[in-house]
Structure 1
Amino acid sequence: MSSPSHKQHTFSRRPLAVALSLVAAQFSASALAQEGTHHRALEEIIVTAQKRTENLQEVPLSVATISGEKLESAGIENLSDLTAHMPSIHFTETGLSTQVRVRGIGSDNSQGFEQSVGMYVDGIYYGRAQLFRAPMMDMERAELLRGPQSTLFGKNSIAGALNLTTARPTTNTEARVSLSHELEYNTTEINGMLSGALSDTVQARLAVRNLTDDGYMYNSHLDTDQPAREETSARLTLAWQATDNLDLSLKAEQNQFETTGRAIEITQDVAVVAGNPNYYEYLQILNREPFDSELDYVRQADTEEVSDNTINNLTLKADYALGDHTVTWISGLLNFDYEELCDCDFVAAEIVPLHLSEDYEQTSHEIRIASPMGNTVEWLAGAFYQDYNQTFSDQIDIEADNLLASTNPILADTGIRRDFEQSSSAWALFGRATWNVNDALHITLGARYTEESKDASKIINAVTLADGMPTYNPALGATYQGVFLTENEAAVVSADGTPLLHRGYNVKGSRDKSAFTPLLNIEYDVNADMMVYGAFTTGFKAGGFDPRSNRIGLFDFRARNPELPAPPAEEANPLLHFEFENETVIASELGMKNTLFDGLAELNFALYHTKYKDLQISQFDGGVGFNVGNAEETVVKGLEVDGRWLVMDNLTASYGLSLLDFEYTDFKNGNCYVGQTPDADLDGDGTDDTCNYTGKRGVYTPDMTLNLSLDYFHPLTNELGLVAIWDWQHVSSHQTHVNLDPAGEIDAYDMMGLRLGIEGENWSLGVLAKNLLDEHVISYSGNAPLSDSQFGTNTHYSFIRRPRTISLEAAYNF
């Protein structure tokens, strides 16, 4: 459950004690090293964090990685599962989008945002929020690069990058079938893989996946379990050694996932004014079904919600050996579309049924050339191009039996609809060079130059449900503006005929911006087992246009309506809440990577300080929309510790620790939470109209995240072995409410997983438990739309993570 917690801006003694205990545990292993165990060593972890194949311990970056084998054994189905195995990363779904944050930085609710955490799948940029929901299957590894990655990954990766690599075709014939069935919620997952050679120079790999899930919440109004899921994925990868110098690969993939219902329930319901009815009581007064506001995995929604998604990807990669150099070309076609119906009042009464749809098409090309390794100067240079087209629309339908139609009869059989279109083209030149001054000192300089242009338009209309056509009834428009806080084309005059200051909604905008983002990294190898580094990086994330805001501020309506009289004030910012500015960052990092006891253990540190300018923010407006803007300055700093320890031949421990200090150092234009008194006057009119967030922590910024994993194998016979994998993540208390309502702060929680199995030569049987402690965790909170503006209540809806699950697993290798 949520509970208030004391705000902190400095690290407490407890996290530091945990860090010191981890260091002590590492050095306690020295006794093992003295007992003739020098022949044992950890296996190398290979990553491509710098667009080259390297040992993780030799990469001067803060990187966390999970192998494909670990992804499979831990039952990691998607990014939501992945974040439970890595510190410094947070994943959540909201009512309208998906969010991923690294070191506390991410992108809020808006289909117009490209993500501050860039996700790259086999080198292709997956930059839209909906793509974070894609399932993961048949992976080679997942890498998390923490901090700005603007030089090599570039495209908006201002907080970090997820570098995902799918499994490659093999020359030997391999096949695998696995089945998993969760007992309580009837979740069944089937995976299949077939790989091998088609000829001496051509290999192929086919992977398929199907998942069905009845859901872990109960909708007591509809008497159904929710959210029910069905996911189907297929991927075909071809590899061709065309010549001695040229390798080609082609990947085609489709993911379809459909969800019925949502993992949302009301978790708080209080009146803003003491003594007044709460939302539950208002619904009773209006003869509507009330709801349960306890966190108990029971929800009430009267609409059969659906979310139907399709993602298609085609990726072509060519590697050409040009003498000692390597030329790489990657081209990708990526598109997705979805249709959603959201019961966005989140109660059993018919109030805010919201239809959403989006269609996105992207083309990208990257070419780069890399010098051979081992020279005095090693370098990599390249060029990147991407364009996309996006359309987004949503519509709230107010039918005659809607609660709002009974209180506002003019709304009956009408709707409010927005249509948004955006196109973008971007290109970049990038490069980096490492000067190996001597065997110990390495200096890297890098830079990226980016240009990006965007064009967008948005219109909001009142429509009649009978034909879906716009209606320009000013009384209807004014009612929608009053009830939903939604400016629209029909809202031109008030009830007495006075021209409205906030008038109409039909806007267009264009942007053409460029950025130069340099990097400096100095690495010093103290010895063969110890490396220290210092890095200075910059980053850039393009601004753009927002489809989700319901008001654009005081735009000059006379330019569009010269025949009408002037409103009582002049225009100040014609694109307020529609256009948002570029996001930039300056970051410094000091790190150390240690290999201990002849390869028995690893101990890595990263200490960072990051300053963001104009962080892109979207916050709930109190009605049914989100206002977009920029926080002037944000400072994030912290410490990350990670490593592994080969405790004994058959037991490996992995750990990670993140200590995070997050502060808005200049953010005066925050949206107030319900009941909060405005305390900032931005327009200088003498009236406080926004809330000053300066000095506060942001959402999803726990002081500490701690991960520990134990992998154990014990031979039972010559042909059988026992496998045990235990994972634990501790997350300290943090804020989950989009507008930083103190009631949205949740207590610390512990996520624990355990897999026990028996493996034969070509088969395995096991049982997998997730969330073993059955923690009830809120991952996102917001205010139920209209609860404040229409009923005067502070009513929260929340996304709730899955409770404890236990699955039986079986796999067979052919």
Structure 2
Amino acid sequence: MARAWLGGVVGAWVVTTGMAQAQDSERPALELDNIVVQSDKLEQTRDQLPASLSVIDARTLQSAPLDSLEQLVRRTPGFTFQPFGQSGTQLPVVRGLTSNATAFSNSLLMLVDGVPVLRGQGFDTDLVGVDQVEILRGPQSALYGRNAEAGVLSVSTRQPGAADYARLETGLASRNQQAYSADLSTALVEDTLYAGFAGQFTRQDGYLDDNFAGGTADDRERQSGRLSLHWTPDELTDATLRYSRMKYRDEASQWGSRTGPDRAVNSGLAGRNHSSGETWSLDVRRSLEGDLQLRSITARSVFDDRLRQDTDFQPLDLMHLARDYHFETLSQELRLSGSHEQSRWLLGLYADREDHDLGYEQKLPLGLSRTQTGLGGNTAAVFGQWLQPLSEAWSLTVGGRYENARAWIDPASTASQSDSWTHFTPKVALQYALTDDAHTYLSYTQGMRAGGFNAFASGAGNPAYDPEKVSSYEFGVKGLGADQRLRYSAALYRMQVRDMQVQQLIQQGLVYITNAASATSTGLDLDLEYLLDERWTLSAAVGLNRTRFERLREGANDYQGQRNPFAPDLTGHLGLRYDADAGWYAQGAVSAVGKVYLDAANTYRRPGYGLVDLSSGYRFGHYTVSTYVNNLLDQRYDAAGLLYGAVTVYSPPREVGVRLSFEL
């Protein structure tokens, strides 16, 4: 199925490119916007940035509809999430690189209005009031340091301004889903102070039968909100104070026994997930003499991961796990940018401090164990970037980051420990303009992911593990064609991963993270958007990746040549949209992900799958009524064998919904 799907996408790519070149010159003028992006910290148009980049705008988010990060990333090449089945915790997988939940760090950095999200716990944001999402693939540690070894996902929310704005939406869907959202803003003081609010409430019945208590075991409820105050006291100053909060009131995880009944549990211990998070941030921009720009982003983020989950799925409470984690991060970034003749430059300072309290409980037939640990650290870094034109066609980008990171652990039962690491992560990109609208580039970048301590391996003395390091070479071509109706990009890359952080079963009952592996990741990202005419739009994306261990031994087992867990060899998306003059639209999309293995031995797996999503809508005045079907064919793609073969993570079934929105 995956090969046939890929052949269809490549065929469509070739055919539509040929069609684009054959368009009649008398056709009405249509152009794709060359959007300005900021994920490289120096504002550039997306087609001039020498990197593999996907951009998703507010219109796409609202009309698809895209309600979650998992739905969003299906539209981009080389990006997926690990199957986890628990709200509030998502572990990204980009270009074959991923992380472990107990490492409390990610291979990809998420930014929400410039505020970093460093862990899988709390790696979530609602998409209400979001103006633009940028997904930058490949190591970005030269600008963003640790946890950006595979890329950056940058979310920008709508800034309240002088014009009043209101968008209200309500919806109903399968399994008694109710959804309500609002995005509002107004001026409090004319030309000076503006306020905005965006929020969402959703609840939905689960899809796992509870054979013990009746009903369903995995009902979901989520609440989120964001407040913004935007202050412009003069022409040179722009400051935004933001507060956001997200809360989950879920029942059990979307888990079941790998050998038990299908999509059903008999759990005598009711599961729950009462996680929550909040963030305060202050973003200040100041124009200085000449074209100098100063920007400061100060933030405090808190996330509480509170979960209890049965793991034997039987009436007697024989096995369960429970988490009570408190994560707190303070961060400060200060950067100065400007230009010199034709060059552009950026200098910055970054610092953060993390303080975490981790409480973990595990019940096994032999008894109950509890772990209480303090974990944290701090980071200090200086970074810079220089964009230098070499001629009319050639340009050079150089950058780097010098970073010192310290980690500490303070277990309740053993002695405290600390360690520190120093890194320099460079970036070099040479770019050539083939035409005014087409560019090719060659880049070399290094990335790293933070080291730390094994918080739950007290029996082994809570050993430390070192940072993971990546060296990446990338060659890309990108630009606009067919009278700017066709946007395309292709990036070929090879990454060498050293001191790879892997989770190993040292002995029965003792699992922890080590630097026991090295790997090579090679692949190709393809992205296309084409306006066939004034009504039809085609989009396509394909990610091919091959990540294999060069070295990994676990006891007597040698896993050389095996796949990195959770890393698919194929991701893809093909979408078609029709916009009618009468105010209605219809669109459909097919997305596909190749099979992934759930362990280093490549014993347990989730099969490859393809999903068909459809949506349509009609706009009349300020109102829009829309319908959608997600997973039209009710495709199953359960991950059977998580936790060393004990658990199946069930995939969501087909969902049908209708929504009504009002926009002023």
TM-score bracket, normalised by the shorter chain, equals over 0.9
Q: Give the Cα–Cα distance (whole angstroms) in 2 for the partners of residues 782 and 739 of structure 1.
A: 12
How many Å apart are 1:23 and its aligned residue? 4.0
SS state of the match for residue 243, structure 2?
strand
Write the deviation string for residues 234-264 of structure 1: whole angstroms up to 9, x where unpaired.
1111111122211111111111112101111
Residue 756 (str. 1) matches residue 606 (str. 2): no
Matching residue's letter, 2:104: F
How many Å apart are 1:95 and its aligned residue? 7.2
Kept in 2: contact 1:531–1:593 (CA 8 A): yes
Kept in 2: contact 1:770–1:806 (CA 8 A): yes
Structure 2 counterparts to residues 326-365 of structure 1, below 5 A: 326-365=293-332
1:78 paired residue number: 68
Kept in 2: contact 1:550–1:627 (CA 8 A): no
How many Å apart are 1:43 and its aligned residue? 2.4
Residue 90 (str. 1) matches residue 80 (str. 2): yes
Residue 444 (str. 1) matches residue 410 (str. 2): no
1:500 paired residue number: none
Q: 1:690 to 1:124 in 2, by over 3 A?
A: farther
Kept in 2: contact 1:660–1:702 (CA 8 A): yes
Residue 588 (str. 1) matches residue 473 (str. 2): yes
Kept in 2: contact 1:613–1:631 (CA 8 A): no
2:445 paired residue number: 537
How many Å apart are 1:17 and its aligned residue? 4.8
Kept in 2: contact 1:180–1:188 (CA 8 A): yes
Kept in 2: contact 1:94–1:780 (CA 8 A): no
1:425 paired residue among 373, 378, 385: 378
Q: 1:695 to 1:763 in 2, by over 3 A?
A: same
Structure 2 counterparts to residues 108-147 of structure 1, below 5 A: 108-110=100-102, 112-147=103-138
Residue 310 (str. 1) matches residue 310 (str. 2): no
Range moving further from structure 2, 770-779 or 803-812: 770-779
How many Å apart are 1:32 and its aligned residue? 5.0
Write the deviation string for residues 334-385 of structure 1: whole angstroms up to 9, x where unpaired.
1111321111234444212322101111111101111149x42211110001
How many Å apart are 1:437 and its aligned residue? 1.1
2:570 paired residue number: 704
1:393 paired residue number: 359
Q: Give the Cα–Cα distance (whole angstroms) in 2 for the partners of residues 753 and 173 of structure 1.
A: 33
How many Å apart are 1:769 and its aligned residue? 0.8
Q: Give the Cα–Cα distance (whole angstroms) in 2 for the partners of residues 264 and 167 of structure 1.
A: 36
Q: Give the Cα–Cα distance (whole angstroms) in 1 for the partners of residues 600 and 257 of structure 2.
A: 17
Q: Give the Cα–Cα distance (whole angstroms) in 1 for the partners of residues 348 and 211 of structure 2.
A: 56
Q: 1:60 to 1:26 in 2, by over 3 A?
A: farther
Residue 455 (str. 1) matches residue 422 (str. 2): no
Structure 1 alignment gaps of length 5 or more:
6-11, 270-290, 399-403, 461-505, 553-574, 671-688, 785-794
How many Å apart are 1:741 and its aligned residue? 4.2
1:648 paired residue number: 533
Q: 1:429 to 1:98 in 2, by over 3 A?
A: same
Matching residue's letter, 1:245: L
How many Å apart are 1:302 and its aligned residue? 1.9
SS state of the match for residue 234, structure 2?
coil
Structure 2 alignment gaps of length 5 or more:
none
How many Å apart are 1:517 and its aligned residue? 0.7
1:368 paired residue number: 335
Write the deviation string for residues 63-100 of structure 1: whole angstroms up to 9, x where unpaired.
11211221222232222222322221111353785311
Kept in 1: contact 2:465–2:515 (CA 8 A): yes
Q: Give the Cα–Cα distance (whole angstroms) in 1 for the partners of residues 549 and 362 of structure 2.
A: 34
How many Å apart are 1:535 and its aligned residue? 0.4
Q: 1:25 to 1:550 in 2, by over 3 A?
A: farther
Q: Give the Cα–Cα distance (whole angstroms) in 2 for the partners of residues 657 and 781 of structure 1.
A: 27
Q: 1:694 to 1:138 in 2, by over 3 A?
A: same
The number of residue pairs the alignment matches comes to: 660
1:601 paired residue number: 486
Q: Give the Cα–Cα distance (whole angstroms) in 1 for the partners of residues 248 and 3 of structure 2.
A: 45
1:297 paired residue among 241, 263, 275: 263
SS state of the match for residue 524, structure 1?
strand
TM-score under structure 1 normalisation? 0.78
1:280 paired residue number: none
Q: Give the Cα–Cα distance (whole angstroms) in 2 for the partners of residues 387 and 730 of structure 1.
A: 39
SS state of the match for residue 21, structure 1?
helix
Q: 1:346 to 1:47 in 2, by over 3 A?
A: farther
SS state of the match for residue 242, structure 1?
strand
Kept in 2: contact 1:186–1:213 (CA 8 A): yes
SS state of the match for residue 223, structure 2?
strand
Structure 2 counterparts to residues 31-430 of structure 1, below 5 A: 33-37=23-27, 39-94=29-84, 98-110=90-102, 112-183=103-174, 185-199=175-189, 200-267=191-258, 269=259, 291-292=260-261, 296-322=262-288, 323-372=290-339, 375-396=341-362, 404=365, 411=367, 415-430=368-383
Q: 1:21 to 1:93 in 2, by over 3 A?
A: closer
Q: Give the Cα–Cα distance (whole angstroms) in 1 for the partners of residues 517 and 305 of structure 2.
A: 34
2:464 paired residue number: 579
Q: Give the Cα–Cα distance (whole angstroms) in 2 for the partners of residues 214 and 725 of structure 1.
A: 27
Q: Give the Cα–Cα distance (whole angstroms) in 2 for the partners of residues 89 and 129 of structure 1.
A: 15
Matching residue's letter, 1:740: A
1:557 paired residue number: none
Structure ID, larger Rg: 1
Q: 1:130 to 1:136 in 2, by over 3 A?
A: farther
Matching residue's letter, 1:63: L
Matching residue's letter, 1:337: D
1:631 paired residue number: 516
Kept in 2: contact 1:19–1:641 (CA 8 A): no
How many Å apart are 1:418 and its aligned residue? 0.6
1:548 paired residue number: 456
Matching residue's letter, 1:777: Y
Range moving further from structure 2, 207-216 or 527-536: 207-216
Q: Give the Cα–Cα distance (whole angstroms) in 2 for the partners of residues 799 and 619 of structure 1.
A: 21
2:424 paired residue number: 516
Write the deviation string for residues 1-20 of structure 1: whole angstroms up to 9, x where unpaired.
xxxx9xxxxxx987885575
How many Å apart are 1:101 and its aligned residue? 0.8
Q: Which has the higher strand share?
A: 2
Range moving further from structure 2, 352-361 or 29-38: 29-38
SS state of the match for residue 262, structure 1?
coil
Write the deviation string for residues 499-557 of structure 1: whole angstroms up to 9, x where unpaired.
xxxxxxx24321111100111000110111210000000112221012233641xxxxx
SS state of the match for residue 807, structure 1?
strand
1:682 paired residue number: none
Q: Give the Cα–Cα distance (whole angstroms) in 2 for the partners of residues 193 and 459 of structure 1.
A: 45
1:677 paired residue number: none
Matching residue's letter, 1:645: Y
Q: Give the Cα–Cα distance (whole angstroms) in 1 for the partners of residues 522 and 569 of structure 2.
A: 11
How many Å apart are 1:696 and its aligned residue? 0.8
2:559 paired residue number: 693
How many Å apart are 1:136 and its aligned residue? 3.2
Kept in 1: contact 2:499–2:515 (CA 8 A): yes
Matching residue's letter, 1:537: T
SS state of the match for residue 152, structure 1?
helix
Kept in 1: contact 2:379–2:403 (CA 8 A): yes
Kept in 2: contact 1:605–1:642 (CA 8 A): yes
Matching residue's letter, 2:111: Y
SS state of the match for residue 602, structure 1?
strand
Matching residue's letter, 1:437: L
Write the deviation string for residues 564-617 of structure 1: whole angstroms up to 9, x where unpaired.
xxxxxxxxxxx5x63111111100000000311110101211000000101111
Kept in 2: contact 1:588–1:610 (CA 8 A): yes
Q: Give the Cα–Cα distance (whole angstroms) in 1 for the partners of residues 513 and 21 of structure 2.
A: 57
1:802 paired residue number: 652
Structure 2 counterparts to residues 722-761 of structure 1, below 5 A: 722-735=584-597, 737-742=598-603, 744-761=604-621
Matching residue's letter, 1:655: A
